[in-house]
Amino acid sequence: MPIKFLPPLRFLNPSLPVTRFPLMNVGLSLNTPRPIPIFSRVFPFKLKYLGFASQFSTRSFRPEPIRSRPEFSRLTGGGVERGESRPSKSLIEDEAELSDWVSDLRTNSIRGQVTSEDEPDSDMGRRSRSKTGRARETDSGGNKGGGAGGFSMKRRRESNSNEFSEPTRRRTESRFGSPTTNRGTVGLPKERRGRRERDLGVKRDGKGLRGKRGFTDDDVVDSGEDERKGLMQNLGGLITEEESDGDDDGGNDNGFFEKKALSSIGLENDFEVKDRPSLSANSDSFMSETRFDQCSISPLSLKGINHAGYEKMTVVQAATLPIILKGKDVLAKAKTGTGKTVAFLLPSIEVVVKSPPHDRDQKRPPILVLVVCPTRELATQAATEAKVLLKYHPAIGVQVVIGGVRIALEQKSMQANLCQILVATPGRLKDHIENTAGFATRLMGVKVLVLDEADRLLDMGFRKDIEKIIAAIPKQRQTLMFSATVPEEVRQICHSALKRDHEFINTVQEGAEDTHSKVRQMHVVAPLDKQFPFLYAILKDHMADDPDYKVIVFCTTARVTGLVARLLGELNLNIREIHSRKAQTYRTRVSDEFRKSKSLILVTSDVSARGVDYPDVTLVIQVGLPASREQYIHRLGRTGRKGKEGEGILLLAPWEEFFLSTVKDLPITKAPVPSIDPDTKKKMERALSQVDMNSKESAYQAWLGYYNSQKKVGNDKHRLVELANEFSRSMGLDTPPAIPKLVLGKMGLRNVPGLRSK
């Protein structure tokens, strides 16, 4: 029986959408079998203290019977293996190149320039990039409404809706080179516009909101998303995309609800609800009114915060910081782009600050904080953010270990440099645990474990690695888990890593959507043969509407991403591509370029779905079935960050429409169907004919592999093959490409009519 959650606790002010309560512990830890918790232990205290007790029933928290719960500890034997272990071969062949790259992680070191060479496996960027990183094609930016015709989703900027404080704005501009913009409500139906304006707090006088904003980057592991597609990746990587793509302190030690929790912000002597850290009145806002200097943060960290341009905390930071600083384990849910990275980094840094100074002669100095991220880009980005915050802590060092970098170089780097904080992707971390001399000893110093994108890390693609990692660090530690999505299954297995009395801090208001109301979500349903023209039409329309466009197009697999990138390149759009088939140096370079650019389209797989903080993305297009509801939300979350506006379009085939029922709680409306004029049709056919056969063959195989692994589509093999052949025709092929017999066998598709084998 699913666990029911409490109604929201609006304990700071009526607008504060923070719900926190401890999860029941079902005692299925990796290492320590625990008793079934006495669940109501904490609540009576909290509720009584605030006089809210009557609002809650602890009944709804009764845990499920233990037998029905997934047991994390059993995964050792039963989990699905990742498709492949992290390759030990180096993708960065040259040590100097690596050190350049590593030093790029320094404060403000995001690469400003994109070199003209691509990795050998890519000719895409070369074709579409000029020296300045701008489109060489004129057809893209300036052609108002151009040949695609008719598909209009006009937006207008809200002149004044940036909620950023001055310092933040300054920082943003200096980091990314241009001021931010916000989007308005023009073009929406009247009633939707009204609702949206209410959501935004937009006044009709056009003054709009005060703004906010954010920054990041991501990496789905070389193991990340791709890993989720685990077994299928064994098929020669054909469909692979993303990286694989002390216990209780007992008692009533419960954060915001206690006087004690407020001591850190100096409010304990005069405790009343109205005195608690308050948040913005706008329920959609991600900023709180609490300043960082109201928390017990070390002066040097405060300087770092200031240097980063942050003054007030975001909601998730305000809600979690006091609790984490007290040493509690936390599982936190907060919408995309709302500052979760700082929320876990800052208190982690404070743990290092409070630890005994590091002895420079120590052979194996302890790693004190271990941050695990599902993708390389995300790990890199978190390390970059840590370096920003550590600017005034010269004795504290951050290192990053990720797939795609030669392991020996990482070993050297960890030995030669300060490394109290280690940011890692799971597969590479596991490699170090197994292969790096002295690393296991260093890990025994871990005081804080952070699982960023926790739900992703706990799903099947990563569980075995995470299990191994948890087994390699002390049980007596603090564990922090953050994500924008915390599905029920994750709630039920998170106990394997968290203490029994951990706090679940949910900053998404009960009944509210997991997505931002400022992001307009739409879907278009079209048969496969219409999808490429529609995609083109949508892009052209968006570019015509907004010269500062910055679009991300998500595709289902790496190979399909490659195909779409080639096709859009042939259509003279200014595109870049990122997916797991690209070398890490290339990925890093493109990611950095896209972060700073405007008038650019990033075609990507799910390696970019989570955590990556590209500022000012105007539109996210998802082509084909998202791997899950969560993945849809994370992908969409690449736009509308830090309170900004954005748009999302989901392009589905009619037989993929069932996905909409999994997101029916989200405000996804039907978009007008783009009209394709004969000229565009011709252009598309020509472009398709220019795309090399190799890309089409790989995309076909990958497509088949991906949908074969999607239960609802893959269960009927005959139908699956019919659809795959429809996809093949949509690429302009009369005959579907032949697939190696071995691959077909592994996919369970041997002898299915309609397939050609070789």
Applying CB under 6 A, the site for ligand ATP has a residue count of 24
At 652, phi and psi to the nearest 5? Answer: -120, 155
Beta-carbon count within 10 A of 96 CB: 8
Q: What would the two tokens of residue 93 be? A: 């062949």
Which tokens belong to 555? Answer: 């595709």
What residue type is 477 in one-letter code? R
CA distance 446 to 437: 17
> 473-512: which residues touch ligand ATP (CB under 6 A)?
484
Backbone angles phi, psi at 63, to 5 degrees: -70, 155
Are 229 and 456 spatial neighbours (Cβ–Cβ below 8 Å)? no
Buried b (16+ CB within 10 A) or exposed e, 693-705: eebbbbbbbbbbb
Q: Which residues contact 729 (CB under 8 A, 6 or more apart)?
A: 528, 529
Other Cβ atoms closer than 10 A to 726: 15
Told to check if 346 binds ligand ATP by CB under 6 A, we report no
Does 374 participate in binding ligand ATP (rule CB under 6 A)? no
Query: Which range, of 196-204, 531-539, 561-569, 637-645, touches ligand ATP by CB under 6 A?
Result: 637-645
Stretch in the footprint of ligand ATP (CB under 6 A) among 338-346, 575-583, 647-655, 711-719: 338-346
**Which member of 39, 52, 72, 215 binds ligand ATP (CB under 6 A)?**
215
Nearest distance, CB of residue 640 and ligand ATP, angstroms: 10
| 337 is an interface residue for ligand ATP by CB under 6 A | yes
DSSP string over 673-709: PPP--HHHHHHHHHHHHHS-HHHHHHHHHHHHHHHHT
Select 308 or 649, whichever has its Cβ closest to ligand ATP.
308
Shortest gap between Cβ of 440 and ligand ATP (angstroms)? 30
- How far, in Å, CA of 87 to CA of 70, rounded? 30
DSSP 740-757: -HHHHHHHT-TT-TT-EE
CA distance linking residue 15 with residue 17, whole number of Å: 6
Residue written as token pair 């890993």: 227
Least Å from the CB of residue 569 to ligand ATP: 27
- Supply the minimum distance, in Å, between the C-beta of residue 359 and ligand ATP: 33
Does 341 contact ligand ATP by CB under 6 A?
yes
Q: Which is nearer to ligand ATP, 29 or 168 (CB)?
A: 168
Cα angle, residue 346 at apex, residues 345 and 347 outer, rounded to 5°: 100
**Region of 54-62, 255-263, 329-337, 520-528 interacting with ligand ATP (CB under 6 A):** 329-337
- From 338, 413, 588, 725, residue interacting with ligand ATP (rule: CB under 6 A): 338
Tokens of 691: 């795309």
Q: Which pair of structure tokens corresponds to residue 435? A: 């292969």
CB of 378 to ligand ATP, least distance (A): 7
- What CA–CA distances, in Å, run from 55 to 8, 14, 255, 276? 10, 15, 19, 20
Regarding 559 and contact with ligand ATP (CB under 6 A), the answer is: no
641 scored as a contact of ligand ATP (CB under 6 A): yes
For residue 256, state whether it binds ligand ATP (rule: CB under 6 A).
no
Q: Does 214 bind ligand ATP (CB under 6 A)?
A: yes
In the DSSP assignment, the letter for residue 37 is P
Residue at shortest CB range from ligand ATP? 214
Tell the smallest beta-carbon distance from residue 492 to ligand ATP (Å).
21
Neighbours of 258 (CB within 10 A): 20
Residue with the two structure tokens 């840590």: 386
Which residues lie closer than 8 Å to 344 by C-beta, 6 or more apart? 320, 324, 371, 450, 452, 480, 482
| Residue closer to ligand ATP, measured from CB, 390 or 723 | 390
Q: Which is nearer to ligand ATP, 310 or 462 (CB)?
A: 310
Give the C-alpha separation, 484 to 518, whole Å. 16
CB nearer ligand ATP, residue 215 or residue 706:
215
Check residue 642 for interaction with ligand ATP (CB under 6 A): yes
Q: Is 420 in the site for ligand ATP (CB under 6 A)?
A: no
CB-nearer residue toward ligand ATP: 19 or 25: 19
> Cα dist. 146→150, 547, 704 in Å?
9, 13, 34
Cβ–Cβ < 8 Å for 220, 246: no
Contact segment (CB under 6 A) with ligand ATP among 6-14, 339-347, 532-540, 717-725 equals 339-347
Residue 307: CB minimum distance to ligand ATP, A = 12
CB of 168 to ligand ATP, least distance (A): 5
CB of 313 to ligand ATP, least distance (A): 5
Does residue 613 touch ligand ATP according to CB under 6 A? yes
Residue with tokens 């595109």: 575
- 3-state helix/strand/coil string of 624-662: CCCCCHHHHHHHHCCCCHHHCCEEEEEEECHHHCCHHHH
Q: Which residues of 507-541 are buried (b: 16+ CB within 10 A; e: fewer)?
A: bbbeeebbbbbbbbbbbbbbebebbbbbbbbbbbb
Element (H, E) at 406: none
Judged by CB, which is closer to ligand ATP: 382, or 743?
A: 382
Binding-site member from 25, 180, 181, 216 for ligand ATP (CB under 6 A): 216
Pattern 297-316, binding to ligand ATP, x per CB under 6 A?
A: -------------x--xx--
622 contacts 648 by C-beta, under 8 angstroms: yes
Q: Tell me how far, at minimum, the Cβ of 624 lies from ligand ATP, in Å.
A: 21
Which CB, 377 or 501, lies closer to ligand ATP?
377
Parallel, antiparallel, or unpaired for β 756-757 and 550-554? unpaired
Tell me: does residue 295 bind ligand ATP (CB under 6 A). Answer: no
Q: Which one, 341 or 413, has the nearer CB to ligand ATP?
A: 341
- Contact region for ligand ATP (CB under 6 A) — 208-216, 466-474, 507-515, 585-593? 208-216
- Among the candidate windows 3-11, 31-39, 238-246, 332-340, which touches ligand ATP by CB under 6 A? 332-340
Please tell me whether residue 336 binds ligand ATP under the rule CB under 6 A. Answer: yes
- Using the rule CB under 6 A, is 515 a contact of ligand ATP? no
Q: Is 617 in the site for ligand ATP (CB under 6 A)?
A: no
Q: Per rule CB under 6 A, is residue 585 in the interface with ligand ATP?
A: no
Would you say 383 or 484 has its CB closer to ligand ATP? 484
Nearest approach, Cβ of 487 to ligand ATP (angstroms)? 15
Which residues pair with residue 649 across a beta bridge? 522, 621
Give yes or no for residue 644 binding ligand ATP (CB under 6 A).
no
Nearest approach, Cβ of residue 643 and ligand ATP (Å): 9
User: Could you tell me the smallest distance in angstroms from the CB atom of residue 310 to ligand ATP?
Assistant: 4
Residue with tokens 């599902």: 374
**Residue from 208, 426, 562, 611 that binds ligand ATP (CB under 6 A)?**
611
Between 166 and 734, CB nearer to ligand ATP = 166
Q: Which of 339, 445, 674, 737 binds ligand ATP (CB under 6 A)?
A: 339
Give 18-31 as a DSSP string: -EEEPPPP-SB-SS
Q: What are phi and psi of 419, to 5 degrees?
A: -150, 60
CB 245 to ligand ATP: min, Å: 17
For residues 163 and 210, is the Cβ–Cβ distance under 8 A?
Answer: yes
**In the beta sheet, which residues pair with residue 478?**
448
Task: Compute the least distance from the CB of residue 79 to ligand ATP, in Å.
Answer: 25
Contact between 537 and ligand ATP (CB under 6 A)? no
In the range 123-182, which residues lie near ligand ATP by CB under 6 A?
A: 168
Of the pair 432, 629, the CB lying nearest ligand ATP is at 629
Amino acid at 674: P
To which H or E segment does residue 331 belong? Answer: strand 330-333
Strands (DSSP E) along 674-749, which ranges? 738-739
- Residue 209 φ/ψ, nearest 5 degrees: -95, 165
Chain residues in the site for ligand ATP (CB under 6 A): 168, 212-216, 310, 313-314, 317, 334, 336-342, 484, 611, 613, 637, 641-642
